[in-house]
Chains A and B, each alone.
Chain A
Amino acid sequence: MEADELLTLVAGGDQKAFEELYGLVSGPVYGLVRRVLRDPAQSEEVAQEVLLELWRSAARFDPRRGSALSWILTLAHRRAVDRVRSARAAGEREQREARRAHHPAFDQVLEEVEAGLERERVRRCLDRLTALQRQSVTLAYYDGYTYREVAERLSLPLGTVKTRMRDGLNRLRDCLGGVA
């Protein structure tokens, strides 16, 4: 069954359908959250919140307006970004990064993930962007920085960053093709 169909059943309280939906989306949700947060324990916590939120809020999903998978990943991304920003604000991040230095196995995992084909495709397409387009898009999406922070980090005017983000996403679409 498709995620869209499953989510509709979940909205009606179907726990079996939720289990199946979990099988389909837990990997993409967890992987995305971990890409943004990097810390495995914290990623697991946020992924858990997101997956539970799917159960709780399934009735809000409107299949006429887009696919369930985009909807779910957009939610996961937003929750991950919200968390990474509050962690940064609290200065926890430096501490965690120091701690992460003791877990070389995790970097190895990331490398293996990078061997994946879809990842390869996305990376190839990211490589075709200009450096500024690529940095603007990835600092925001994968590292959770606001466009103001991106502008600061890259020493660019705000308007330039907004344009680079838009051009970057458009070029990515041309390169990856329309099939999601």
Chain B
Amino acid sequence: MSLFGRLLRRGDLHSLAAPYALDALEPAERVRFERHLDDCDRCAAEVRALSEDAVRLAWSTAAPAPAALRDRVLAAVRTTPQDPAPGRAFRLPPHVWGVQPPQARSRAPRPRPLLVPFATATAAAALVVASLFAVQANRTQGELDTARDRAREIAHVLAAPDARATSGRDDRGRGIGAIASASEGKVVVTLSGYGDPAGDRVHQLWLMRPGAQPRSLGLFDGDTPLLASGLDRTATSLAVTVEPDGGSARPTSPPVVQLALESVGFGE
């Protein structure tokens, strides 16, 4: 090939960086481009940056995985051998992991079709998860560490085998979503559409039980999910009230929204 031809081909290959980052190449082109990346540092750097952008598009789609998936994956892990570490350093950028053809499809039983109740539950779960990942942005490292610790605790509740979700809306379309694990005695709650109350006031979450005073489960910080623990199975519902800054020992105003917990394993 002439020098001109080679340069042309290079330029042409280089223009594939964005389609590559978006996984928009055909298989043969993908292989050719990955080979090109091997000896083009500039392209590798560009692909890396573009791929980070593409991953941002992925974060916004997070949704809770079905509980049955967890059981299947963890069971499979117990019997699946691991591949050895690669003998030489990979020269490809970090995100290029798919250069090998995918392994033969596992023989795991076909998942059962999802039932509608699950899908409905997922709606509430999605509210919680989406705001969970939103907390990662624009924080200092210390704040990030705290947020991550909390995110981990929340993820733990979401991944509990008996985690179930419920949600409700008030007559103005504002919503409350909750994911609860009765076995862990924990619930993750989010508000959407309520914003911050006017003045020095806060949204406070209460646990309601028959024949008992409401118990405070904590104060909301905007749309950030609130994790409450120590719930026993007699809990019947959650309520949110607007309280003076710092919260109150007892509710001082009627609830702005309430949510029954029977469908998520409580209220015995």
Contacts and interface: CB of A to CB of B under 8 A. Distances in A.
B19 A165 contact: yes
Interface in B11-26: 15-19, 21-26
A109 B118 CA distance: 10
Task: Say which size band chain A's interface belongs to.
Answer: 35 or more
B159 A23 contact: yes
Interface string B4-41: 00000000000111110111111000000000000000
A177 B127 contact: no
Which secondary structure dominates where chain A touches chain B? helix
Contact of A173 (B53, B123, B223): B53
Interface centre among B81, B105, B114, B223 (most CB of A within 10 A): B114
A123 B136 CA distance: 17
A53 interface: yes
A89 to B, nearest CB: 12
A2 B32 CA distance: 34
A2 B74 CA distance: 19
A109 B119 contact: yes
A30 B61 CA distance: 9
B172 interface: no
B201 interface: no
B213 to A, nearest CB: 33
B15 A159 contact: yes
A93 to B, nearest CB: 17
Interface in B70-91: 70, 72-74, 76-78, 80-86, 89-90
A83 B81 CA distance: 24
A71 B123 CA distance: 27
Given A23-B158, A116-B129, A78 B98 contact: yes
Nearest to B110: A45
B60 interface: yes
A105 B66 CA distance: 15
B103 A31 contact: no
A147 B95 contact: no
Contact of B102 (A13, A30, A79): A79
B26 A146 contact: yes
Nearest to A28: B62
Given A32-B58, A74-B95, A122-B60, A166 B69 contact: no
Contact of A118 (B15, B49, B130): B130
Interface centre among A29, A52, A112, A150 (most CB of B within 10 A): A112
B196 interface: no
A176 to B, nearest CB: 5
The 4 closest A-B CB pairs, nearest first, are A116-B130, A66-B94, A31-B63, A65-B94
5 contacts: A27-B63, A71-B95, A74-B51, A109-B126, A180-B59
Interface of B: 15-19, 21-26, 48-66, 68-70, 72-74, 76-78, 80-86, 89-90, 93-98, 102-103, 105-106, 108, 110-114, 116, 119-120, 122-124, 126-127, 129-131, 133-134, 136-139, 148, 152, 155-156, 158-159, 167, 175, 192, 223
